[in-house]
Structure 1
Amino acid sequence: MSSSALLEQISTFMNEQIPFQKHLGIVVTKFDAQQSEVRFRWQDQLVGNAPMQILHGGVTATALDTAGGVVIMASVIERLKQDLPADEIVKRIARCGTIDLRVDYVRPGRGKEFITTATIIRSGNKVAVARMEMHNEDGMLIAFGTGTYIVG
């Protein structure tokens, strides 16, 4: 299986098989070994502050973590594709998980659509680190974060 086929498989899995992400409407729109993007649209049930109509902080954190996780998985595929067969890479990716997530909330979560991007800071054999940002459709920065993930 090629690395592009693995990336497509991950994208499909993340978009269709993770119930919580489906519930929130989070969709992986693009990713590779250097950058990822996930998006979701405003929904009334995502409100965390009803009087102010502000996005729940947990939704923001989930979107940041999702973007960080998929770019980390793509990075693992890129790093291992020459050394391991596809089934071994899939097993390695299945063990990936968040070790630490730091979120800085910069502005209230308001908008019609939210776009979260992530880039790789470091991708090692055991641990990988990503930097994430979430903007609304007008490009306003809502939050940013750093995620540390177990990859080995």
Structure 2
Amino acid sequence: MSDNKNLTPEQLASFVIEFFQNSMPFNRALGFQIESLEDHEVQIRMPWNNMLMGNPVHKILHGGATASILDTVGSVVALMYGIKQLKPEEVEDFKNTLANNGTIDMRVDYLRPGKGEEFIATASVIRRGRKVAVCRMELHNEKGQHIASGTGTYLVG
């Protein structure tokens, strides 16, 4: 992304999605497809991949893959929520802090076995301050079955 001082919040949001989806090798390995929805909401789709199987007897998604998609959707939605709140003169400064953002803490509740052909993660911001955001994340399969929930705390400023 150029160092254009006239960067818009929409351009910054597109940059964040592009970065998380295409610049992070781990996210690419998991097959994440990040979609921006209305009002800077985010969902991540992950197709079934036999390499992500945690239980080969029952063909169940590994818990680490579940935690990874929840963590990523929480991170992205926390950033998108912050971008949505920016004034035009704050966009460039926010962009310059992106490299310092990260997960502070995360909890995952595994509700049922991760069975499915596709997994869809969504998240919402519970509370966001100037430096920290707390998000609630959910993972469902393509049939709408609720696989896992999570709560994450993210450094965002």
Instruction: Give TM-score scaled by structure 2 length.
Output: 0.90
Contact 2:9/2:88, CA 8 A, preserved across alignment: no
Range 103-112 or range 4-13, more displaced: 4-13
SS of corresponding position for 1:75:
helix
Corresponding residue number in structure 2 for 1:76: 82
Counterpart pick for 1:20 among 26, 41, 58? 26
Contact 1:135/1:143, CA 8 A, preserved across alignment: yes
Partner Cα separation in structure 2 for residue 34 and residue 120 of structure 1: 11
Cα deviations across residues 44-77 of structure 1 (Å, max 9, x unaligned)? Answer: 0000111111100000000001110011111221
Letter in 2 for 1:111: G
Report 1:1-150 matches (<5 A).
1-31=7-37, 35-84=41-90, 86-150=91-155
How much has 1:28 moved relative to structure 2? 0.8
Contact 1:54/1:108, CA 8 A, preserved across alignment: yes
Sequence identity, in percent?
A: 45
Contact 1:76/1:93, CA 8 A, preserved across alignment: no
Give me the CA root mean square deviation: 1.4
1:2 to 1:34, Cα distance in 2 relative to 1, 3 A: closer
Contact 1:7/1:32, CA 8 A, preserved across alignment: no
Contact 2:8/2:88, CA 8 A, preserved across alignment: no
Instruction: Give TM-score scaled by structure 1 length.
Output: 0.93
